[in-house]
Structure 1
Amino acid sequence: MSGRGRRYMSKRDRACDSCRVRKAACRIDITPPCYLCTLHGKECTFVQPTSRLRQPFSEVIHPQIPQQAEVDPHSGLHEVSPVGESVHYDHLMSIYGDGAHDSVDAVPEGFQDFFEGARVSLAGGFGDSTWATGLSPGSFNYPSPGPPGTRHLGDGGPSTACLPLLMQEEGPSICLDTQDEMTPQLLGSSGDMDPLLISRYQYDTSGAFHFKNLNIQSFLLSKRSIFAASREENGCNNLSTVELKQELESLVPGDIGLRLINIFERIVASDYPVLGPPGQLNPGTSPPYLLASVYLIVEPFTKFDERLCIDLAYEKPSGAALYEIINKALPYEIHAPKLCIVQTMLLLTIRPYPNPIILDSGFKWSQLATLIACAHTLGLHLDPKSWRIPSWQISQRRCLSYLIYSTDKWLALSLGRPPLLHYDNWLVTSPSKEDYPVSGLHPSAWSNIKKRAELDSLLDRVLIQLYSPRAINAIRTDYEKTVALTGPLLQELFSWHSQIVAPSSSSSDQDRPVALERTLEMNYHYIHLSICRAILRPFQHPTVEKLNNSNYIIARAQARIQTEACISTAAEFIHELKAEDLETLWPAWSATAFSSICFQILHMATSSLDRSEADKWVTFLHQVRRDMRLKADVLPCLRLGLLRVDSIFWKGVDNVFHLEEHVRQAFMSAS
């Protein structure tokens, strides 16, 4: 080797022994020794055998279903989709690693071939840092100009002068979200304003570069006035904040507003800390549209306030009038959104449907889409942990990011839509312990939010692996693939639930779960039911060949037993609901969760294999309907499912479904 030169990153020549142990890039200009061996005074040798064979590139891109089934369900949340054809994020991240710790030898050959002529190092990088502008990690091997002594991108480490401003370690923090006259909008890495070029701006001591109507601080901070023409063209009237506050004050006087805010902080904020720690809202200083959204979501809880239960007993603030204030402001504000706009829209998305028997799915889904668009504009899809902004702003942004991600998953499940957010494109998918001190929440409330985040992650896998359009096309008729996918999901779900119920297993009825713990239990049953529905899917249209197959018959029986166990526990949950559970925020997707339970019981009855099974399910359905009818006046989220099932009986079951004779007789006997 001593007399032979080689090209950097040549796929024919492996790294030296020392670099292979370090899992670092082996840089040889002409002949050994390499750069790192020279730096550390080590002998540069090439005598150790390779530790493993390279995996063919085709196997990285096209994993098969059996391989997916063998993966430990706890080893990682987002593997390559077993039903997709694309290279997943985690495989690309195995190339980039966490900076300079992945050996070039670990890169699939196809990628080395691609980067060979581009002179781009796959092993260099920016360590654990994430650029506020969204730049991908990577080390480009060309020098950049700068003052003497500056470390360039190609010199093995990041240059402080070349990092986006919010990522620089030195200098004062930047209050990104509290500049009233300027609105921040993210400068993405693929936009027209190249972040590499922006990093060279001559920023002043305040951390900004000023133009006439714009400031650059890694974000683009714009004066609100520059959107005047666009707003005028779209018919957005500029109603002054003073006028909106006066209109809101005429509907909800300040003293009543303070009590409504207190209810919000006591009941809603502990489950959904959208606004940060208590004390952030004030009728005199907070935006009127944000206050209106708070008043709307707490309206069902006014009976729990000693004064409001009398003051509002005969005349409550008009929901339509409150919504009108929001609708006057939002079309104008979303041209240059701020965090208070995101907070307002998130509260409206979580809020239960105003008419509990109407599922306004089109509007609710469009509302979520607008919320996500505003969140992207503000950079909420990024993790601001390493940004040069105050710690309270970091926690506020992270909490909002997580709540938006969670809401997207549950609303997608409830409305039967593909999620709008993808794990690869949204960095904050759960809160961290660093966010807790700024949250202002009680430790038990924070613990419940962490538990919900674990369930959110599992739901994301369920939606991708079982309910994405590509997944349904691939496994809807294949019960073996379906079982291979659902087994690990059920195992992880049961493990989560066992940890939840274990601490309270010996508690008395006085210590029964309240608030978020109740909705957590509902979420558990909803995910369990969704998995069981996917398990039953391949058995919907049996053929003669399948019915003569013993494995198919056994699998179908097991699927129905699993679903029966799921529905039994969900029905018991409904039976145990009590009047005090009204003092809990049941979010918008609660209505479809309970409705799904009713319809699944109805499906099990109509698909019964014999008369005895049909009699059992029909009787069970009537029991659940009775429970829901007794509790629907107390818990409005039960009314949708009850109405939809009752309407089938009102029409006549045999007039709605094609029923086999033994099923028809079971319904007639029960009636």
Structure 2
Amino acid sequence: MAGTVPPKPPSPVTRPVATSNLQATEDLVVDQEDPPVAHQAVDIPFFELDTVRISADAGGTRPHTPSAFKERHTHQTIQTLDGLAGVSYQVNGASAESDPWLLRHCKFNDRGFLSFHQVHFRNAGGVPFDEKIPCHFLVSSDQLYESSKAQLLPPDPLNTHEQLNHIVPPECGQRLIVLFMKFIFPTLPIISRSHFGLAAAGTVPDQDILQRTPLCLLAAIYASAQPFAKFDDYLCLIDAYAPPPTDLLWRMVLDLLLRDIHTARLSTLQAGILYLHRPISATESAVADSAFTWSLVGMLVGVAMSLGLQLDCRLMGLPLWEKRIRRRLWWAIYAEDKWRCLLIGRPSYIGSDDWDATDLSDDDFVMSECLRLALQQPASSSHSSHDVLTAQPFQQLIQLSRIADELQRSLFTLKASQRLSPDFHATLEIARPLLQKLKEWYAHSPVSVRQPDHQPTTLDSIYCQSNCLRFACILLEVFVFRALLRPMVRSAAPPPLLEENFETTEFTNQFNDLLAQLFDAEEIEPSMAIDMSDENGMGNAVLRAADNCAAKVIRLVMRMTTSDLSSFWYRWSRVGFATVSNFLLLLLVQAPTKDHALRAKSLVDLWRQTLRNQSTGCPAMNLGLVRLDGSLWPGLARNYYLPKQVKEVLEE
């Protein structure tokens, strides 16, 4: 059969997963690296960008079936995952920060691997096909998690208050608790002020109370507050001449936590949640969370369920302070589950039919009246208003967490992804009410959230958390548009899977020749699955709204001040920054026209520069920068199959 076989890419070389001395039972095959390609930042104008109303008429839809493309590998060799020595792997879920619908455009080698420096993705093979969605695994060198493993091995048993007092003297511990209440409690109100005798802001707890506080919780509070020691005159001087024992405290917390699970109390859950939000170390900031983190979330959900926090406790015969902390703890672990399952693409541990706790109200944050009387604090309106204002960031987060749960269940569960990924119009019908709910949340949020330039003269720690809430809201918008972008481009058919000792036959060569004849140069890359010819049509409206969403998050991060960056951030926020990076890459890789590609490239370059500038003061952004640089420094064309118009823009 006549025909021209397309030129084959350079043969890959076989080398270890990482640059370290890694002995593998099977070698990973990665492509040779090309020289880095420079990218220049491009300034773009910013405007007030609200959620765009998508109301244009729907355009035509092309059949959405996997197609063969002649530049793709003609086969993928079957290779073990679990038999690879020196590496670990995690499945990349439908809503994971490394978007499977972005990875489907990657140039995997004939063993299904693609390397972004020390980050490696393995194409599962065989999908997408019919209703099966793209599936990839994140493969990481075990050496990247050595520091995390070390936390499981304390040098010596630390299990008494006397040992903790030797590490953190009580007079320092008192000051750390005051800092915790100022900088962390408004965002994570999971301890009882009544227990610590804290009737007003700035109140110092008695040392006798510290001795009665469960050791695991006390160590977690100390460690959580340590990054803010610079705001205390005395602690600032102490830390200036001797490094604080923060790492040792966290190792102590984890060791006690794993032991206390057998006799769990509320303090066990409190310490566990604080451990999940421990500050990011330099060795962890550019590395994805290990499987331990999601496993720990599941364990803590199990503790909460065992303690009955999922039940409405308002009518139970419990002290008021205990009811308040039980309700706040339930919603804290609920938020933990919902945000993390969305950001890493895992099924939620908490089912919608398994709890009946009611929404938080201002009454769940008031100070115990008996404590006020004991400390001779009058129950004035100023105290009440302070309590309510302190509660606002957490209440706002819980409302967003409810929306995040609905978004994950309706767009990103396995079944929802299988059903919706080829169906643009069905996805749009689900996306509309979700965007409306986010718009309503924003409209009813405090003035500090709605007006970024509004800075109150008091309660500055609460103001700083407004940026964290704004980022979380826009992040949910990003996920909605990610779902809308999935069905807009058709997927390539997966290469056939061959055994490693398979020899190419004459029939295989003839089949490749036939493919080369059937698909001309204009059809090498996946074509749009919806009609984009109408400038005012639905597809273009969605792309404009997605661009606006991307510009909005860039503007938010770009305008963050030093106070914003150094405030307390939920630890899962770092995965959110990486999610934004992959979203911007998706806009560029799938750009249907040169104009769209120019706009997307401007956004990518500006986001890259923003992360470089702001990550100095906020290590949570490092993962997002690594994800972006990993794709950009060798050049996008090396790692992705790009449409002609995108290649032209990148070459200009």
Task: Look up the equivalent residue of 2:430 and give its one-letter code.
Answer: L
Q: Does 1:329 align with 2:256?
A: yes
TM-superposed deviation, 1:545: 9.6
Check whether the contact 2:488–2:529 (CA below 8 A) recurs between aligned residues.
Answer: no
Any idea what the Cα deviations from partners look like across 1:331-374, whole Å, max 9, x if unmatched? 33211211111111111123344322222241211111111111
Check whether the contact 1:349–1:588 (CA below 8 A) recurs between aligned residues.
Answer: yes
Single out whichever of 627-636 and 447-456 deviates more from structure 2: 447-456
Check whether the contact 2:424–2:484 (CA below 8 A) recurs between aligned residues.
Answer: yes
- Equivalent in 523, 540, 546 of residue 489 of structure 2: 540
d(CA) in 1 for partners of 2:269 and 2:361? Answer: 21
Give the match for residue 581 of structure 2.
Answer: 598
Are the structure 2 counterparts of residues 278 and 269 from structure 1 closer, same or farther at C-alpha, using a change threshold of 3 Å?
Answer: farther
Q: Does 1:456 align with 2:385?
A: no
TM-superposed deviation, 1:630: 1.1
TM-superposed deviation, 1:558: 2.0
Larger radius of gyration: 1
d(CA) in 1 for partners of 2:562 and 2:233? Answer: 18
Give the match for residue 555 of structure 2.
Answer: 572
Give the match for residue 424 of structure 2.
Answer: 479
Q: Map 1:298-337 to 2 at 5 A.
A: 298-337=225-264
Are the structure 2 counterparts of residues 665 and 313 from structure 1 closer, same or farther at C-alpha, using a change threshold of 3 Å?
Answer: farther
Task: Look up the equivalent residue of 1:403 and give its one-letter code.
Answer: A
Q: Does 1:520 align with 2:450?
A: no
Higher relative contact order (CA 8 A, sep 6+): 2
- Equivalent in 433, 443, 449 of residue 498 of structure 1: 443
d(CA) in 2 for partners of 1:608 and 1:240? Answer: 57
Q: Does 1:489 align with 2:434?
A: yes
Check whether the contact 2:311–2:355 (CA below 8 A) recurs between aligned residues.
Answer: yes
* Matched position secondary structure for 2:298: helix
TM normalised by structure 2 equals 0.62
Task: Look up the equivalent residue of 1:392 and give its one-letter code.
Answer: W
TM-superposed deviation, 1:553: 9.4
TM-superposed deviation, 1:269: 0.8
Q: Does 1:425 align with 2:354?
A: yes
Single out whichever of 474-483 and 248-257 deviates more from structure 2: 248-257
Q: Map 1:106-145 to 2 at 5 A.
A: none
Any idea what the Cα deviations from partners look like across 1:403-447, whole Å, max 9, x if unmatched? 111111111122121211122112226312432324886322223
TM-superposed deviation, 1:639: 1.2
Check whether the contact 1:290–1:344 (CA below 8 A) recurs between aligned residues.
Answer: yes
Check whether the contact 2:574–2:620 (CA below 8 A) recurs between aligned residues.
Answer: yes
TM-superposed deviation, 1:393: 1.1
d(CA) in 2 for partners of 1:549 and 1:507? Answer: 36
TM-superposed deviation, 1:583: 4.2
Any idea what the Cα deviations from partners look like across 1:490-528, whole Å, max 9, x if unmatched? 111112112227687678554498233221111101111
Give the match for residue 171 of structure 2.
Answer: 255
Are the structure 2 counterparts of residues 552 and 546 from structure 1 closer, same or farther at C-alpha, using a change threshold of 3 Å?
Answer: farther
Give unmatched runs, 5+ long, in structure 2. 1-152, 197-204, 369-383, 492-525
Any idea what the Cα deviations from partners look like across 1:295-345, whole Å, max 9, x if unmatched? 222222122221222211243333332233223323332112111111111
Give the match for residue 147 of structure 1.
Answer: none
Task: Look up the equivalent residue of 2:193 and give its one-letter code.
Answer: P
Check whether the contact 2:615–2:622 (CA below 8 A) recurs between aligned residues.
Answer: yes
Task: Look up the equivalent residue of 2:213 and give its one-letter code.
Answer: S
Give the match for residue 506 of structure 2.
Answer: none
Are the structure 2 counterparts of residues 443 and 375 from structure 1 closer, same or farther at C-alpha, using a change threshold of 3 Å?
Answer: same
* Matched position secondary structure for 1:609: coil
Give unmatched runs, 5+ long, in structure 1. 1-235
* Matched position secondary structure for 1:423: coil
Are the structure 2 counterparts of residues 388 and 624 from structure 1 closer, same or farther at C-alpha, using a change threshold of 3 Å?
Answer: same
- Equivalent in 415, 424, 430 of residue 470 of structure 1: 415
d(CA) in 2 for partners of 1:657 and 1:545? Answer: 17
d(CA) in 1 for partners of 2:450 and 2:345? Answer: 34
d(CA) in 2 for partners of 1:601 and 1:260? Answer: 40
Give the match for residue 376 of structure 1.
Answer: 305
Task: Look up the equivalent residue of 1:321 and give its one-letter code.
Answer: L
- Equivalent in 157, 178, 183 of residue 267 of structure 1: 183
d(CA) in 2 for partners of 1:420 and 1:468? Answer: 13
- Equivalent in 403, 411, 425 of residue 332 of structure 2: 403
Check whether the contact 2:488–2:528 (CA below 8 A) recurs between aligned residues.
Answer: no
Check whether the contact 2:531–2:539 (CA below 8 A) recurs between aligned residues.
Answer: no
TM-superposed deviation, 1:479: 1.1
- Equivalent in 243, 263, 267 of residue 340 of structure 1: 267
d(CA) in 1 for partners of 2:424 and 2:537? Answer: 11
Are the structure 2 counterparts of residues 594 and 556 from structure 1 closer, same or farther at C-alpha, using a change threshold of 3 Å?
Answer: same
Query: Percent of counterpart pairs with the same letter?
Result: 25
Are the structure 2 counterparts of residues 481 and 635 from structure 1 closer, same or farther at C-alpha, using a change threshold of 3 Å?
Answer: same
How many residue pairs get aligned? The number is 433
TM-superposed deviation, 1:650: 2.5
TM normalised by structure 1 equals 0.60
* Matched position secondary structure for 1:541: coil
Q: Map 1:42-191 to 2 at 5 A.
A: none
Q: Map 1:169-248 to 2 at 5 A.
A: 243-248=159-164
Are the structure 2 counterparts of residues 389 and 451 from structure 1 closer, same or farther at C-alpha, using a change threshold of 3 Å?
Answer: same
TM-superposed deviation, 1:455: 1.5
- Equivalent in 603, 614, 617 of residue 631 of structure 1: 614
TM-superposed deviation, 1:383: 1.2
Give the match for residue 94 of structure 2.
Answer: none
* Matched position secondary structure for 2:551: helix
d(CA) in 2 for partners of 1:462 and 1:307? Answer: 46
Are the structure 2 counterparts of residues 435 and 600 from structure 1 closer, same or farther at C-alpha, using a change threshold of 3 Å?
Answer: same
d(CA) in 1 for partners of 2:531 and 2:171? Answer: 73
Any idea what the Cα deviations from partners look like across 1:46-102, whole Å, max 9, x if unmatched? xxxxxxxxxxxxxxxxxxxxxxxxxxxxxxxxxxxxxxxxxxxxxxxxxxxxxxxxx
Any idea what the Cα deviations from partners look like across 1:231-290, whole Å, max 9, x if unmatched? xxxxx99x999x522222222111111111111011111111111226627432212221
Any idea what the Cα deviations from partners look like across 1:127-174, whole Å, max 9, x if unmatched? xxxxxxxxxxxxxxxxxxxxxxxxxxxxxxxxxxxxxxxxxxxxxxxx
TM-superposed deviation, 1:572: 0.8
* Matched position secondary structure for 1:417: coil
d(CA) in 1 for partners of 2:325 and 2:218? Answer: 18
Are the structure 2 counterparts of residues 505 and 488 from structure 1 closer, same or farther at C-alpha, using a change threshold of 3 Å?
Answer: closer
Single out whichever of 647-656 and 618-627 deviates more from structure 2: 647-656
Task: Look up the equivalent residue of 2:337 and give its one-letter code.
Answer: D
Check whether the contact 2:253–2:275 (CA below 8 A) recurs between aligned residues.
Answer: no
Q: Does 1:556 align with 2:539?
A: yes
Any idea what the Cα deviations from partners look like across 1:577-634, whole Å, max 9, x if unmatched? 1101134210111111112112211111111122232222212211121121111111
Q: Does 1:529 align with 2:478?
A: yes
Give the match for residue 514 of structure 2.
Answer: none
* Matched position secondary structure for 2:469: helix
d(CA) in 1 for partners of 2:527 and 2:612? Answer: 42
Check whether the contact 1:353–1:360 (CA below 8 A) recurs between aligned residues.
Answer: no
Q: Map 1:345-364 to 2 at 5 A.
A: 345-354=272-281, 355-364=284-293
